[in-house]
Amino acid sequence: MLFTIQVNNKKIKAEKGETILSALNRNGIIIPTLCRMKEFTPTGACRMCVVEVEGRDRLVTACSQPVEEWMKIKTHSPRVITARKTIVELLLSNHPDDCLYCDRNLNCELQRLSEELNIRERRIRGRKIKPRLDQSSPAIIRELSKCILCGRCVRVCEETITATSLDFINKGRETHVGAAMDRDFNFSSCIHCGQCVLVCPTGALHEKHNITEVQEYLNKPEIVKVIQYSSMVVYGIAEELGMRYTRDFDKVLNSILRKIGFDKVFKTGTGTDVCITEITGQLTERIENNSDSPLYISACPAWVKYAEQFIPSLIPLLSTVKSPQQITGVLIKTLVAEQLGVKPGEIFSVSATPCMAMKFEARRDGMMRKGISDVDSVLTVRELARLIRLYGIDTTNIEQEPADEPLAGRSSAAILAEVSGGLAEGVIRAFHFQKMKKEPDKLIFKKLRSGGIFRELSVQVDDTSVRAAVVDGLTGLEKLRSALASGKKYDIVEVMTCPGGCVHGAGLPFSPSKDEIRNRSKLVYQSDDTEAINLPCKSPSLISLYEKLLKENPDISDRKIFFTHFEKRNVLL
Amino acid sequence: MEDLKTFLIEKVLTFESDTLSPDTEKVLQLIRREKTVKPVIYVSTGTSSIISGSGKTCSAIETYIKENEPSASIVQVGSTGPATFEPLVCIQIPGKNKLFFRNITEEKVEPLLNGVFHNDINTDDLAGQTGTKGFELWAGIPFMDELPFFTHQKRVILGNCGCYDPESIEEYIARGGYRAYIKAIRHYTFEEVCDIIERSGLRGRSGGGYLTGLKWKHALNTTSNSRYLICNAKESDPGAFTDRTILESDPHRLIEGIAIAAYAIGASNAIIFMRSGSDHAKNRLQKAIDKSREYGLFGHNIFSSGYNLDIIIRVEPGAFVCGEETALINTLEGKRGMPQLKPPYPTTSGLFGKPTVINNVETLMNVPLIMQNGPEWFRSIGTENSPGTKVFAIAGKGRLSGVVEIEMGTKIRTILDEIADGIREGKEFKAIQLGGVSGSFITAENLDISIDYESLKEKGIGMGAGGFVIIDENTCMVDLVRYYMEFIRNESCGKCIPCREGTGRMLEILESVIRKPLNEESGTTLERFKGVMQLETIASVMKDTSLCGLGQTAPNPFISALKNFRDEFEEHIFDRKCRANICRGLRTFSIDVDKCTGCTACAAKCPVNAIYGTRLQPFFIVEEKCIGCGICFDICKFSAITVK
């Protein structure tokens, strides 16, 4: 039901049941917010969105107050502006003020707000918060003095990720966000998905920087510098550098990376193809054995840690195949090293990913061979963009180059793995091809591609039917649990920690809206539709790898390097 | 005992007629100790009495009885109200009126009891007598209710306080208790009970003064399969102790009130939310609940009415903000005690998402009385729009302190001059602080405001939870405001920015005002002035934008103090002087050369060695070193130290 309300002496249309904020936004009036996250119920913690409603003693928060017919609202009256300004000034009064050195400089919501509200003088001076830096986690750094306690990270961790590693501790001036028992972050149940980093409005949470380390190695002539990047990085870099994404942008990226000083540029996509192939093998085995329990895909490192600490009973069901990044990494340290004629220790292998948990995964137990880790350093897309800017590379005027063999090609199934459900789809496609010797119609996967946080699909392949389930975001686990409890059987289950999959990864550019994420997945599906090679087993790189290179190399011909192990993890809950 | 229980249930609680049979009345009289054949000694054992030493008094009396008067018995009752009189002892000799003695400490017990039992009463400790019909008067002894402390009160809620043993359900039933509850669940529908309370005009006794009956109806009319009633007994304002006194002195009436309220909204679960630390009150309440459950007043299908109710006590985790209703609900749900946005109000979606009514102790105490005496009776007390009474905890610099109950519409001056008997030691009156950390100051020109919701609102003063702190000239307003601000700063939940940061900044600025000027050149003066200029903006923004009542009312003491005592603030800021000589940083001590004998006592005690001199010669104080602690001032026997 539409009705009219008065805003700043003008009439606008509002809908019954919506909040003041949504009515205002629809009519082109912008109200600053700080603690608000679109998909969540408002908490009203920051009080930035206050507006004046005639007849109310106090200012009301636009984000939570339902709009009513009698309302006469003033959105930018002197009283409102003073209130907003004072709130930001209060936040700044004990802020560390090291914007120039801050991770979020020029990209900080607090900075933007103070700019928008025209704060030009320090009116209120407060005692600074005692700095506390928590660098213990392999992926996420917390700088508590920069925290403005908006509570976004707490809510994301609890409501979207369900890991609940963060909460408010203490009260009054002592209030801060912390992990269980206020211990350092590495003791906590954090799964390093980094969604908290993505929503943090200030620099209180950011990824662990590996740039310096990479830079250091780039200057060592005796070391072979190698980088692998996943398909999502290509989109991410285009987005972060403000460029238009085209089909050939990966070739541009190859050239950029070589200009920075990487000797070899590989695609993680080849690793994804290997991953799909190996999982298909495991799936075939399982189906042939008529196994009752499903195979859980373990390509998402955050999900693996989640399972290890919260659902240890599931560990034996996890596929032991390494994640694409680690497979590519180990191939670089074995196959490529041999081809180049260097020792594995002389290779510095960098991985660029849209994921933050990969930083943790590279440090995992079981991800090294003969004392040499598969991947030496992991960069997020944001870090890689920073590196590109640091090396002053003119990205507008650059030639196109192919990636290096043997890990240069990939199928479109590999790119599909960046969206939730894509990996399962790839595996089923490969399984289908293996049985029927022909590709399945893509339309049958419609149910796997969209339709909520928990999706199911049953495909008839020859005489067997493959039943797949996709958990899109860890909140979907609850539905999986009840489906399993009600007696449903699955052959393969894919779990992605970030809602939407890697397109929503925490290493990608900040503040993604739902539309942007949808746009990224659209690009992924487009690539799948337009590219010629849709199956891993048709990719030339993979064929040469399996048919020739692995066989020629007795050290790795048993393919053991593609597998790892998982163990129960004890953490503070 | 079992017989008594059956008797009370059959002949009193479930007796169909409103008037009981004469035989029953006789038994009840005995239970009420109205016809005693043996002497009875009542000792008040509330928290304030225990602090004053009533525990020892009690054991001293027990020893005395054992040795000298084995026929006498001792009853531990709750507090009557006047904390200044504690430990209060009441002695009832058969056939004679009750006698009240005040401040009976351990050593006074023997002479007192000797005197009473041998008809030689020492009138020094005597407070007064209370009359009972047909009993012999004590000649020349004033009646308790003629004392100014009691004459100006209207004791309705506190009617039972200090009169019966709070652990004895029998006595409460004998005093007419639980009959309103049984009647309600057997004869009235939910709506009817809500109606009665709404017609009585009872308003919530804290904060906004919302109509209780209306609130109940909101919850009742929300469709749901279960509802909750919560009694908010989390009283933790500094200087408020009304709820605690009620819980300790008359737990059964509160339980009855909760039971009726729960019935009125159709709740089958009632929760009493108590503050941590009041174990005495909690134990008494728990015993009372256990007893009433024994009597079948709670449980399944209560007295065949088809109504189920259970009642439990929950203790808060120890944070001030947990008294705010949404934070309280969060706490009960096991979450962090942080307030939430309203709407939705608890009456539509409260505890576990169910409709929930939260009433405070004083509101619920009125409910059984209204059910017993009818809404018209309640409307006859107090003013038109604010019927009933209000309980205050008088504390501070008044001559008398304690818990008092006044009729709505009583003037503040009456409480100050008559009930509290003016200011102690003949000092000058400065202000009254009404409503704890979130209250305002009432100065001399406003003393004629009558206490009711409308008059107070007109002046911008909140009724508050019952704190009534009397402030005299020896209190520094800046320091007091700083104290309240520090309290809120520490107790803010940390959720919303204006409250969390605003209280911190305001406190820091206030601290800079009273801090000793270390070095006037280093820019601290400018900083101080700059800060002070922002105080009012921060205060108004906090008031305007904070999420919950805690933050919205946190600047109240400051705003009200600044309005009424601006000169005192300016003195602190510009002249660097504290007229009450409270602010340490602004005090300067000096030694009067003529009076100093050179005894070295002050120099020996000075914590920072700021006093120098030769023995038997006048000493002097080094001002730069002095921290203004005032130890020398207190220790000097010759009044040689002066303070400016």
Q: Do A172 and B343 touch (CB under 8 A)?
A: no
Tokens representing B589? 């001590």
Residues 77-116 of A with CB under 8 A from B: 79, 82-83, 86-87, 90-91, 93-94
Global pTM reads 0.91
Minimal Cβ distance to B547: which of A47, A83, A126: A47
Which long-range contacts does B21-28 make (Cβ < 8 Å, 24+ apart)?
A: B28/B174
The DSSP bridge partners found for residue A265 are: A227
What are the DSSP E strand ranges found in A163-236? 167-169, 176-178, 205-207, 224-229
Best of A35, A51, A77, A124 to disrupt the B interface (most B CBs within 10 Å) is A124
Please name the member of A83, A126, A172 whose beta carbon is closest to the beta carbon of B491: A172
- When CB atoms are compared, the residue of A61, A64, A83 closest to B541 is A83
Mean pLDDT, residues A459-467 taken together: 88
CB contact under 8 A, B541 and A93: no
Alpha-carbon dihedral sign for residues A533, A535, A541, A544 = negative
- Residue of B496, B504, B505 with shortest CB distance to A45: B496
What pLDDT score was predicted for residue A451?
Answer: 83
- At residue B522, the pLDDT reads 59
What's the complex ipTM? 0.89
Question: Does residue A202 sit at the B interface (CB-CB below 8 Å)?
Answer: no
CB contacts < 8 A (A, B): 111
* A164 interface with B at CB cutoff 8 Å: no
Residue (of A533, A540, A538, A541) closest to A336 by Cα position: A541
- Contact: A94, B504; criterion CB under 8 Å: yes
Q: Is A126 on the interface with B (CB under 8 A)?
A: yes
pLDDT below 50 — which residues of chain B?
Answer: none
C-beta separation of B182 from B13 below 8 A: yes
Neighbours of B359 (CB within 10 A): 25
Exposure letters B132-168 (e unless 16+ CB within 10 A, then b) = eeebeebeebeebeebebbebbbbbbbebbbbbbbbb
Q: Is A151 on the interface with B (CB under 8 A)?
A: yes
- Give the integer Cα–Cα distance in Å for B362 and B329: 20
Please name the residue of chain A whose CA is at the shortest distance from the CA of residue B552.
A58
B432 φ/ψ angles, rounded to the nearest 5 degrees: -120, 135
What SS3 state is found at A192? coil
Whole-number Å distance between alpha carbons of A278 and A284: 10
Smallest Cα distance from B514 to chain A, Å? 16
Query: Would you state the pLDDT for residue B624?
Result: 83
Q: Position of tokens 């200087």?
A: B239
In angstroms, the separation between the Cα of residue A540 and the nearest Cα of chain B is 56
User: Is the pLDDT assigned to residue A274 strictly greater than 70?
Assistant: yes
According to the model, what pLDDT value does residue A38 have? 86
pLDDT of residue B517: 67
Identify the pLDDT of residue A172.
Answer: 87
* Contact yes or no for B545 and A87 at CB 8 A: yes
Distance of CA A295 to the CA centre of its chain: 23
Chain A residues with CB under 8 Å of B541 CB are 82-83, 86-87
Check CB contact of B496 with chain A, cutoff 8 Å.
yes
The pLDDT value recorded for residue B180 is 92
Contact assignment for B341 to A94 by CB distance below 8 Å: no
Q: Token pair of A330, please?
A: 């180990």
Distance from CA of A82 to the nearest CA of B (A): 8
User: What residues of B are in contact with residue A66 (Cβ under 8 Å)?
Assistant: 343
Which residues of B, range 23-52, sit inside 8 Å of A by Cβ? none
Flag if B537 and A42 touch (Cβ within 8 Å). no
Tell me the residue type at B11.
K
Q: How many CB atoms lie within 10 A of CB A453?
A: 18
A466-475: average pLDDT:
94
CA distance A232 to A255: 17
Q: What mean pLDDT, rounded, does chain A reach?
A: 92
Question: Is the model's pLDDT at A362 over the cut of 90?
Answer: yes
CA separation for the pair B269, A285 (Å, rounded): 56
B contact test, residue of A173, A174, A182 with most B CBs within 10 A: A173
Compute the distance between CA of residue A539 and CA of residue A542 in angstroms, rounded to an integer. 5
Q: pLDDT-derived band of residue A137, with 50, 70 and 90 as boundaries? A: very high
The helix/strand/coil state of B359 is strand
Please identify which residue in the block is written with the tokens 């407060």. Answer: A126
What letter represents residue A25's amino acid?
A: N
Q: How far apart are CA A497 and CA A478, in angstroms?
A: 13
Residue in chain B closest to A176 (alpha carbons) equals B494
Cross-chain Cβ contact A171/B493 below 8 Å = yes
Q: Tell me B88's DSSP state.
A: P
| Residues of chain B positioned with their CB less than 8 A from the CB of A93 | 501, 505
Report, as an integer, the average pLDDT of A163-172.
Answer: 92
Whether chain A has a CB inside 8 Å of the CB on B547: the answer is yes
CB A319 within 8 A of CB A355: no
CB contact set of A437 (below 8 Å; sequence gap of 6+):
none
In the block, tokens 């016809």 appear at B35
CA B519 to CA A171: how far, in whole Å? 34
Please check whether residue A487 touches B, CB under 8 A: no
Mind giving me the DSSP string for B109-152? HHHHHHHHHTT---TTSEEEEE--TTPBPPTT--BGGGSHHHHT
Q: What is the pLDDT of residue B277?
A: 84
* Residue with tokens 């109940």, as numbered in its chain: B216
Q: Does B501 touch chain A (CB under 8 A)?
A: yes
Rg of chain A in Å (alpha carbons): 25
Helix (H) or strand (E) holding A6: strand A2-7
- Which amino acid, one-letter code, is at B135? F
- Among candidate residues B469, B453, B479, B461, the one with its CA nearest the CA of residue B572: B479
Q: Which residue of A has its CA nearest to B318?
A: A171
Return d(Cα A37, Cα A28) in angstroms, integer.
Answer: 19
Burial class (CB within 10 angstroms; exposed 0-12, middle 13-18, buried 19+) of A211: middle
Asked whether the beta carbons of residue A58 and residue B527 sit closer than 8 angstroms, the reply is: no
A125 touching B, CB under 8 A? Answer: yes
CA distance A193 to chain B (A): 24
H or E segment and range at residue B621: strand B620-621
CA angle (B466 as vertex; B465, B470 as ends), nearest 5: 130
Count CB-CB contacts under 10 A for residue B580.
17
Chain B nearest-CA distance from A258, in A, is 48
Please tell me the predicted confidence (pLDDT) of residue A97. 87
- The mean pLDDT of A254-261, rounded to a whole number, is 94
Distance CA A461, CA A377 (A): 41
Inter-chain residue contact A148 with B545, CB threshold 8 Å: no
pLDDT of residue B566: 92
The span from the CA of A103 to the CA of A202, in Å, is 9
Quote the radius of gyration of chain B (alpha carbons, Å). 28
Residue A145: φ, ψ to 5°? -70, -20
Cα separation, B5 vs A186, in Å, equals: 62
Binary contact (B537, A86; C-beta < 8 A): yes
Q: Provide the pairing of β-strand A492-496 with A464-472.
A: parallel
- Residue B208 is predicted with a pLDDT of 74
Omega before residue B343 within 30° of 0, cis: yes
DSSP A354-420: S-SHHHHHTTSTT-EETTEES-SEEEEHHHHHHHHHHTT--TTS----PPPSSS----HHHHHTTBT
Contact by Cβ (8 Å): A153, A196: yes
Query: What gap in Å lies between CA A469 and CA A421, rounded to an integer?
Result: 8
How far apart (Å, rounded) are the C-alpha atoms in residues B563 and B132?
A: 50
If we measure between CA atoms, which residue out of A311, A333, A309, A338 comes closest to residue A322? A333
B544, A79 in Cβ contact below 8 A? yes
pLDDT at residue B519 in the model: 62
Residue of B nearest to A124 (CA): B531
Q: How far is B195 from chain A (nearest CA, A)?
A: 29
The C-alpha of B553 sits at a distance from chain A's nearest C-alpha, in angstroms, of 12
Q: Select from B491, B501, B527 the Cβ nearest to the Cβ of A125.
A: B527
Interface membership of B495 toward A (CB under 8 Å): yes
What's the average model confidence in pLDDT over A117-146?
A: 91
CB A361 within 8 A of CB A305: no
Q: Which two tokens stand for residue B565?
A: 């005592």
Instruction: Verify whether the Cβ–Cβ distance A43 to B341 is below 8 Å.
Output: yes
Q: b vs e for A86-120, b when ≥16 Cβ sit within 10 Å of the residue's Cβ?
A: bbbbbbbbbbeeebeebbbeeebbbbebbeebeee
Distance of residue A189 Cα from the nearest chain B Cα, in angstroms: 19
DSSP B242: H
Helix or strand or coil: residue A528? helix
